[in-house]
């Protein structure tokens, strides 16, 4: 017996509940190792490539994934390597980095699904505009033209979905159908084929994530053939989808930078590893203790 005024949340007064949707958030499958290279560039050809796409005077990050842009960037890197006039202007580290950029872009058929290049402005110059083009702002001051003078180029490659990762995603799709839609495999497939099952699959722009989503859909709906048509017809990717999948956006960037700075300071300290053995309260494995004695000061070893 319930006291007067008590409302049972499970009592729906004879109304039947209806399942409106089923949501699942899934990580990508097994992948190859990810690799990344960063380099600072100041050469006018890279700066022109950036401003052609972003516009002059804008301080925006540029993400390069389309085939056309990757082809043009590959042509720029080849010209700078092959022409002595350009290569002489480059420092040794920049030249080596541009060679790596060329090799990465030439390694596979050009597409943005297995590699990505980012350009982030790092330095600018503010020049007064020509007398004919000078205009006054609302406060009476003259406009100044902002031009980027240094870019941070980030090249990312690898991280491709392996054959094992594809099988994992497809098996997960089959398992998901059997667990979430019990009562025979025909139920979900019949609903989907009659358009009564509104299936939507959202994914980020990472290639391994897109392939995982397509393989999952293949197993979920018992589809056959290559995953490319499935990727095109069933998998949705857009800015709205990105904001829905990752609502943090740039809000976590400040914390990430703080953590990176702290790790950098820890890894670049000049501590003697031999002291770790002396001051350690736990008993170290013999091979670990011997390695600490050999390494001594890691930073000095790396400078040799």
- Tens of pLDDT, residues 18-77: 777 888 999 999 999 989 999 999 888 999 999 999 887 788 899 998 888 999 999 999
Point out the domain boundary residue: 112, 133, 158: 158
Does residue 286 share a domain with residue 224?
A: no
Does residue 176 share a domain with residue 216?
A: yes
291 within a domain of the structure (yes/no): yes
Does residue 145 share a domain with residue 40?
A: yes
Q: How far apart are CA 272 and CA 278, in angstroms?
A: 11
Average pLDDT over residues 275-284: 70
Does residue 97 share a domain with residue 113?
A: yes
- Structural domain count of the chain: 3
Whole-model pTM?
Answer: 0.64
Q: Which of 88-97, 169-178, 189-198, 253-262 has the highest mean pLDDT?
A: 169-178
Does residue 212 share a domain with residue 118?
A: no
Does residue 38 share a domain with residue 145?
A: yes
Does residue 63 share a domain with residue 139?
A: yes
Task: With beta carbons less than 8 A apart as the criterion, state whether 179 and 225 touch.
Answer: no
The tokens describing 73, both together, are 């960037």
Among 6-10, 22-26, 257-261, 289-293, the range scoring the smallest mean pLDDT is 6-10
Q: Which domain holds residue 88?
A: 34-158
């Amino acid at each position: 017996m319930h006291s007067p005024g008590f409302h049972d949340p499970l009592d729906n007064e004879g109304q039947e509940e209806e399942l409106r949707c089923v949501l699942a958030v899934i990580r990508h499958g097994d992948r190859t190792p990810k690799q990344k290279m960063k380099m600072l560039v100041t050469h006018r050809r890279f700066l022109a490539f950036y401003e052609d796409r972003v516009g002059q005077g804008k301080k925006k990050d540029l993400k390069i994934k389309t085939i056309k842009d990757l082809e043009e960037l590959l042509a720029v890197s080849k010209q700078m390597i092959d022409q002595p006039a350009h290569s002489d202007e480059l420092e040794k580290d920049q030249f080596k980095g541009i060679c790596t950029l060329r090799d990465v872009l030439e390694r596979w058929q050009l597409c943005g699904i297995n590699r990505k290049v980012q350009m982030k402005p790092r330095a600018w110059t503010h020049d007064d505009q020509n007398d004919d083009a000078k205009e006054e702002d609302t406060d009476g001051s003259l406009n100044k033209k902002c031009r980027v003078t240094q870019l941070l180029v980030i090249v990312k490659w690898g991280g491709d979905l392996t054959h094992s990762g594809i099988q994992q995603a497809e098996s997960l799709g089959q398992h998901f159908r059997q667990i979430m839609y019990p009562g025979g495999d025909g139920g979900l497939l019949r609903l989907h084929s009659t358009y009564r099952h509104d299936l939507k699959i959202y994914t980020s722009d990472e290639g391994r994530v897109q392939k995982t989503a397509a393989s999952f859909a293949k197993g979920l709906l018992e589809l056959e053939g290559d995953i490319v048509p499935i990727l095109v017809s069933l998998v949705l990717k857009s800015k709205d989808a990105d904001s829905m999948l990752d609502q943090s956006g740039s809000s976590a960037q400040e914390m990430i930078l703080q953590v990176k700075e702290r790790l950098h300071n820890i890894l670049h300290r000049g501590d003697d590893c031999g002291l770790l053995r002396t001051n350690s309260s736990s008993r170290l494995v013999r091979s670990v203790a011997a390695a600490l004695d050999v390494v001594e000061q890691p930073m000095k070893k790396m400078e040799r």
